[in-house]
Amino acid sequence: TSTFLSQKPKSELVRTSLRLLTSSAYRLQSECKKTLPVEMCPTTDIQLVTQQVIQCAYDIAKAAKQLVTITTKENNN
């Protein structure tokens, strides 16, 4: 774990972005596991899983962009 993530961020925006990043990463991992032959059951809807993976990836990108924007603003002040 990086020092940045192990410290408690002061900004509520940073905390919110980190929560979104973390929860989306866990969701992404969970959704991807559903596509593994060991985890896949006959009722697995691969289209739904694909949509969930896309949504998780979008949320991760959104959180990362928020963090970059926040840290850039903080560094410029």
- For the chain, give the percent of residues with pLDDT over 90: 44
Number of residues that this document lists for the chain: 77
Indicate whether 44 belongs to any domain. yes
Indicate whether 6 belongs to any domain. no
Query: In this predicted structure, what is the pLDDT of residue 61?
Result: 96
Range of the domain at 30: 12-74
The pair phi, psi for residue 5, each rounded to 5°, is -75, -25
What does the pLDDT average to over 25-38? 89
Indicate whether 7 belongs to any domain. no
Measure the CA–CA gap between 1 and 5, rounded to whole angstroms. Answer: 7
Indicate whether 1 belongs to any domain. no
Model confidence at 50, pLDDT cuts 50, 70, 90, reads very high
Query: In this predicted structure, what is the pLDDT of residue 28?
Result: 95
